[in-house]
Amino acid sequence: MGSAGKEGEVKEKTKEISVAGGGDGVDGMGTPGEGLGRCSHALIRGVPESLASGEGAGAGLPALDLAKAQREHGVLGGKLRQRLGLQLLELPPEESLPLGPLLGDTAVIQGDTALITRPWSPARRPEVDGVRKALQDLGLRIVEMGDENATLDGTDVLFTGREFFVGLSKWTNHRGAEIVADTFRDFAVSTVPVSSPCHLRSLCGMGGPRTVVAGSSDAAQKAVRAMAVLTDHPYASLTLPDDAAADCLFLRPGLPGVPPFLLHRGGGDLPNSQEALQKLSDVTLVPVSCSELEKAGAGLSSLCLVLSTRPHS
């Protein structure tokens, strides 16, 4: 819809600016979006046995292989800690929170501010409590969503380093987007209709500070076109064969002499998209698998929260 006004209103915008680039996705346009991917810590939550039944939060999801899901989760944590050098904090699994590992839905973090969300599913709302405490302990400024008419899942929010896009979906409504705008007033906030039963981050993500990656489905391409109309910034675009591969994480741990990382579902999960992602420059590709956790609705952006506790230069 548009950018945020002073009072957090998400306003209409009519200025049309196309997404730049012919699909090569090469990120070679300087260093915009300094806030994108900056991180020192990662937060995850263990996989409970209750997730395996497929009855997580009353969702009626397909049953999954618990041991495989736990292995995938363990590998993700290991790569965040060992490959990327992040301080890893792992909340223990809670049997009363079968979808607790999808903690990316519980907060939107930028800089030293964490907006604690209000998930669409009432059964998931208790998930925010442990996340809130962990983020408080790390020294972040906590903002609560007090409006009972608002719903917001964190994986409907895409931060580009320069602005926010909030997907209006089954999970997130316009009031939730307004609260994002009111919380992060230094950035434009635009709403993007999501025309499929999933989150915005399940369709598109950032492959670099000026590169939007998106799946090839109609819903993903429709979302990218909407973003192109709303933005005042030129982004290159890269279309991937698989929507799920667009749910990637561009991360800059700030290690001396080390280029940024792109954590993504390549390799054995989505080999065709792995090949396409190799068109991105100046990033180190780090593939991980979450094919079993995906049965519970998980994507990479839902399985971890990344943040920086270091002063921003």
Distance CA 245, CA 300 (A): 9
pLDDT by residue (tens digit) across 253-312? 977 777 899 999 977 789 889 889 999 988 999 999 999 999 999 999 999 999 998 654
Angle at 304 between CA 99 and CA 61, to 5 degrees: 25
Residue from 155, 172, 140, 150 nearest 105 by CA: 155
Q: Which two tokens stand for residue 239?
A: 């279309």
pLDDT by residue (tens digit) across 133-160? 999 999 999 999 999 999 999 999 999 9
304 catalytic residue (yes or no): yes
Helix (H) or strand (E) holding 77: helix 66-78
Structural domains in the chain, sorted by start: 41-307 (3.75.10.10)
Selected catalytic residue, list 39, 198, 248, 304:
304
Selected catalytic residue, list 41, 73, 199, 264:
199
Could you tell me the strand order of the sheet in which 305-307 lies?
A: 87-91, 41-45, 305-307
Distance CA 65, CA 50 (A): 11
15 falls in which pLDDT band (50, 70, 90)?
A: very low
198 catalytic residue (yes or no): no
